[in-house]
Amino acid sequence: MAAYEWKENNACAATYKVLEGDKFLDQFEDADIPFAKASSVKLKTLRYYPKTTTNPQIIEVLSIEIARKFVTYVVKIFTVSKQNTEKSSAAIISEIAKVFADGSKTIKDLAEIVDSNVKFPDEA
C-alpha cells in the first residue's frame, strides 16, 4: 500500500482546520504550524495531550472526547456523509480516538483515517 500523501485535499485541509481553528479544537496556531509542515507534527505535542501523566486510562478518556469533537466538527462543517458505510459512527470515532491516544502518531496519520472514512461533498 502506498504511503498516504499530505496535500491540499479535503481530508488534509479539514483535519488541519479543525485542529487549528479557534472556533474548533484550537490545538495549535497556524503561525506556529503552517499547513505545509503540519503532516509531521506528533499528536503528543498538541494541547489536548496530557503533559503531566502517562496514565493510559486518562489518555484514553481524553482521546475519546477529542475524537468525538473532531468528528462532529469535520462532519458538520466539511461533509455530508460517511464514506465507509460498513462502519458505525462509533467505530469511526473509536478508530480516530486510537490515533489521538498514540502520541507518536502525526497529523498526517489522522488525515489518513479521515480520508478513508469520510466522504466530502465534491467526492462522487
Tens digits of residue pLDDT in 63-121:
999 999 999 999 888 866 666 678 888 999 999 999 999 999 999 999 999 998 887 87
Q: What is the pLDDT of residues 20-78, one digit of tens each?
A: 999 999 999 999 999 999 999 999 999 999 999 999 999 999 999 999 999 999 988 88
Cβ–Cβ < 8 Å for 100, 67: yes
CB 62 within 8 A of CB 97: no
Other beta carbons within 10 angstroms of residue 122's beta carbon come to: 7
Grid cell, residue 54, equals: 502517562
pLDDT value at position 87? 85
The whole-number pLDDT of residue 82 equals 62
Cα 65-6-71 angle, rounded to 5 deg: 20
Q: Is the pLDDT of residue 5 over 60?
A: yes
Position 1 pLDDT exceeds 90: no
Its pTM stands at 0.91
Cell triple for residue 42?
A: 506528533
Residue 85 is predicted with a pLDDT of: 73
Radius of gyration for the chain, computed over Cα atoms and rounded to the nearest angstrom: 14
Q: Which residues pair with 23 in a beta bridge?
A: none
